[in-house]
Amino acid sequence: MIRSSIAERQEVRFFRSLWIAAPGAAAAWWALLVLRGVLPVGVSLAFGGLIGAVSRGSSLVLPLVLFGASFMASLVAFPFLQLASANLGSRMSAHLYDRLTTLCTQPEGVGHLERPELADDLTLARDFDLGLTGPPLAISMDFIAGGLVELVTGVSAAIVLAWFHWWAPLVLLAAWGSTHWLLRESGVWKDRNTGEVRSAQRHADYAYRLAVDAAPAKEIRFFGLS
């Protein structure tokens, strides 16, 4: 029961669809995401090791190499993750387009396309991909990656803190998690998928196209339908 409920969550279905759409690109995206998340902690540890070597008066070759390599990797990982996010988002969009085309053309006739609930879904999918109601996947994947990078960085920092004091990561995770819990409703518009909102979006788009597209706008003005 618990496993099935978790598998049906939108987040799980989305990330599972990424693997189905482009397994190689998804693997590279996850690898770069985790790498960018742990690199800030690695840079801090390497910098601390360099300071410790200076204070002890020992050789600085290995600490400098580790610090330089980790710092350079942290600078390079960001643009690579952006490219991987854009590529994976485009591949995912193409995969969803193929599935949408297949589902719309498999049944015979066009009667199924006239169903109001299906028209609402098609309008929502088109507006989303065109960037009218939100950034398309090629752009939004970078925002998704940014949030997951912060999550990986926080967990990595908690693991490092556990090496020094067992209670320190608990305080960090409690303070960090409380912000997500308190602000959990601030970035979510739960009514956007309701039938009323979808119908209003479809009617607004219809009225807009009727006014600005050349052919229907000319007919409305010519026949005086306005």
Looking at residue 79, its pLDDT comes to 92
In the chain, the percentage of residues whose pLDDT exceeds 90 is 23
* pLDDT tens-digit readout, 125-156: 777 777 766 778 888 899 889 889 988 998 89
The residue among 200 and 143 whose pLDDT is bigger is 143
pLDDT digits (tens, 9 = 90+) for 6-35: 666 777 888 898 998 889 999 999 999 999
Whether the per-residue pLDDT at 225 is higher than 60: the answer is no
Per-residue pLDDT, 175? 84
pLDDT over 70 (residue 219) = no
Asked whether the CA dihedral 115, 117, 119, 121 is positive or negative, the reply is negative
Q: Find all residues with CB under 8 Å of 66, minimum gap 6, and list them.
A: 46, 49, 50
> Among all chains, which residue has been given the structure tokens 């960018």?
36
Question: What pLDDT score does 97 carry?
Answer: 83
The predicted model scores a pTM of 0.75
The answer to whether the CB of 63 falls within 8 A of the CB of 49 is: yes
